[in-house]
Amino acid sequence: MLAMNYRGPFRVRADHKPDPVIEHPGDAIVRVTRSCICGSDLHLYHGLVPDTRVGTTFGHEFVGIVEEVGSQVTKLKVGDRVLVPFNVFCGSCFFCQKELYGNCHNTNPQASAVGGIYGYSHTAGGYDGGQAEFVRVPMADIGPTVLPADLHEDDAVLLTDALPTGYQAAEMGDISEGDTVVVFGAGPVGIFAAKSAWLFGAGRVIVVDHVEYRLDFVRRYAQCEVVNFREVGDMAMHIKKMTDWLGADVCIDAVGCEAAGNAAQTLSGVYAMMQAGSATALHWAINSVRKGGNVSIVGVYGPTFNAVPIGNALNKGLTLRMNQASVKRHLPRLIEHIQAGRIDPKQIITHRVPLEEVADAYHIFSSKLDNCIKTVLIPPSAREVRAVASTALH
């Protein structure tokens, strides 16, 4: 099969790899029809995630068609259209029983922290991901969701991570009616966090970034205010000035370990790797929120030390909530929102790229070229099926 192949930092290519096979009676093989490049994949691409091994296939956002099932699979059948949450989870452990699917205790040898994640290094279980023509899906009766007939594949692929993560970011902010919410980061997750904040009752939403085309997009898509941090001297002071000198009620860090905006953080966290990434956005969130406010963190950081102003959080009486999104828990409500027309996820897709051109796709997304917001990779087999269907219709 054709698959993305990681060859080291800033080096990926499309390569031929062996087709995945059923390894356990609970497995399924899914033929991928859509996969995405996530902002979190860029942390891998840039060499910032430990134990990212050469030869790995990335991709934790994918949908497809069930090609084969193991002998113990009862809830899926060959031919089902499915979306596969990025969490690999068992459904039965202590954490899964609490719907903390991102913290499953049985799918990752490093389970003292995160559970299993498709295509996200051996620190997340070492599973190959979906930037490929086929992918092995373990515990297939637990994770995958069969797509409703009226759900477009482009919407479905964004339900595997980006939209649920943005939605959970807003949920963890415990937004009350009329609250002012500040989202740091105008990537796909930040865009969806801003959009979701309105669904939870926000009265004002402000998004902070430094890339003008992303700010223009989120302003239109999420009907929010925007701030370019390159034009601001002191971010916390600026947010306080915008909020009658109190600070925002809720701040969301949707950036994570590669945040720009502070030279010392970037030097120590990204280049020297003395800490697990640049915590600039987290500093801004803690310092910009009001006393007694809420900080929600969905931006990805490494599993080791970060220099964060925890004393400020203590003295301000803040509530900090954070986690990997538990995708499966959010799907019923989010599908309902899509079907009701409250949110149209596929509008954020700006680039649809053949899987064969995955190296160019990563370069465009990483370098923020061509006004790229979200990239979808389409394997050759999916294009062939579409071509056959189009021919049959004519």
Q: Which domains, from first to last, does the chain contain?
A: 2-161+326-393 (3.90.180.10), 162-322 (3.40.50.720)
**What average pLDDT does range 243-266 have in this prediction?**
90
The yes-or-no verdict on residue 386 having pLDDT over 70 is no
Least confidently predicted of 192-201, 281-290, 297-306, 313-322: 297-306
Name every residue whose Cβ is closer than 8 Å to that of residue 210 and which is 6 or more positions away in sequence.
228, 229, 230, 260, 261
Task: Point out which residues pair with 34 in neighbouring strands.
Answer: 63
In terms of DSSP bridges, do strands 349-354 and 374-378 run parallel, antiparallel, or are they unpaired?
Answer: parallel
Asked if 313 and 295 count as a contact pair (C-beta separation under 8 A), the reply is yes
**What average pLDDT does range 29-57 have in this prediction?**
94
Condensed to tens digits (0 to 9), the pLDDT of residues 355-364 reads 999 999 999 9
The yes-or-no verdict on residue 158 having pLDDT over 90 is yes
Is 73 exposed, middle or buried (CB count within 10 Å of its CB: 0-12, 13-18, 19+)? buried
pLDDT at residue number 132: 98
Higher pLDDT pick, 259 / 24:
24
Give which of 36, 92, 113, 61 is closest to 102, Cα–Cα.
Answer: 113
pLDDT at residue number 75: 97
Number of residues written out for the chain: 394
pLDDT at residue number 263: 84
d(CA 204, CA 6): 41
247: left (phi over 0), alpha (psi -120 to 50) or beta: left
d(CA 290, CA 169): 18
In the 8-state DSSP scheme, what is residue 50?
T
Give the pLDDT band (50/70/90) at residue 306: confident
d(CA 188, CA 38): 8
pTM of the entire predicted model: 0.93
Percentage above 90 pLDDT, the chain: 84
Give the pLDDT band (50/70/90) at residue 50: confident
pLDDT at residue number 276: 78
H-only helix segments in 323-357? 327-339
The yes-or-no verdict on residue 12 having pLDDT over 90 is yes
Coil, strand or helix at 270: helix
Q: What is the mean pLDDT of the chain?
A: 93
Tokens of 337: 């929102």
The yes-or-no verdict on residue 113 having pLDDT over 80 is no
Give the pLDDT band (50/70/90) at residue 28: very high
The yes-or-no verdict on residue 388 having pLDDT over 50 is no
The yes-or-no verdict on residue 112 having pLDDT over 80 is no
Asked if 64 and 130 count as a contact pair (C-beta separation under 8 A), the reply is yes
Higher pLDDT pick, 276 / 91:
91
Condensed to tens digits (0 to 9), the pLDDT of residues 119-129 reads 999 989 999 99
- Say which amino acid occupies 256: G
Percentage above 70 pLDDT, the chain: 96
Give the pLDDT band (50/70/90) at residue 111: low
Number of H helices, E strands in the chain: 13, 17
In terms of DSSP bridges, do strands 134-137 and 145-146 run parallel, antiparallel, or are they unpaired?
Answer: unpaired
Asked if 201 and 179 count as a contact pair (C-beta separation under 8 A), the reply is yes
User: What does 1-33 look like in DSSP terms, one character per residue?
Assistant: -EEEEEEETTEEEEEE-PPP---STT-EEEEEE
Task: Please state, in angstroms and as integers, the Cα–Cα distance from residue 185 to each residue in 69, 223, 310, 344, following that order.
Answer: 39, 15, 21, 20
The yes-or-no verdict on residue 295 having pLDDT over 50 is yes
Cβ-count burial 221-260 (b if 16+ within 10 Å, e if not): bbebbbbebeebeebbebbbebbeeebbbbbbbbbbbbbb
